[in-house]
Structures are given as structure tokens and as C-alpha cells.
Amino acid sequence: MEKTELINKVNEALAEEFEIEISTLIPDANIKDTLDIDSLGLVDMVALVESLFGVKIQAQEITSILTFENLYDYIYKNINGK
């Protein structure tokens, strides 16, 4: 999957799940602030990513995924690493 396609797919899913405007999802924005979620909401983001891409974000790795750019990179790397 091309990265642009991946980003679009992630953004569409996040906007729908967390009920926010897709335009607010910019690469260097903080995920928790933008999605207005706490650690519980992050669980739903992890589940969403796993259902969309089959990529499981490990609990010890989620702490290093702070921005959407971090998230796109993580998914991209793990899809291509499969």
C-alpha cells in the first residue's frame, strides 16, 4: 500500500470513529489532544488499526506514538515488514 493511500484510510477511519473533522488530522498534531481521548480511547485506536491493517500496536510501543506522523510511520513499517 502506498503511504498516501494509507494516510487517507487511517484518517477516514479515525474521523468516523472519534467523530472529528478529517481536516484536523495533520501529521504533526498530537493524537490524544486532537482526538480528545485518554488512554482508554487509545485502546480503541489500536483496535481500529488492527482491524483495518492487521497491524497490532504493542502496549509498550504506544507510548512512542504521539503524533499522527508517528502512527502512519508505524503502520507503514509494519505492513511492509510483514
Q: By CB under 8 A, name the binding residues for another protein.
A: 17-19, 36-37, 40-41, 43-44, 46-47, 50-51, 56
Give least dist CB 57 to another protein, A: 9
Cβ proximity to another protein, 1 vs 47, nearer residue? 47
Nearest to 24 by CA among 15, 69, 43, 3: 15
Element holding 59 (H helix, E strand):
helix 59-62
Between 2 and 21, CB nearer to another protein: 21
d(CA 33, CA 45): 13
Distance CA 38, CA 53 (A): 23
**All three cell numbers of 56:** 497490532
Q: Give min distance, CB of 41 to another protein, in A.
A: 6
Residue 45 CB, nearest approach to another protein (Å): 9
Q: Which is nearer to another protein, 10 or 49 (CB)?
A: 49
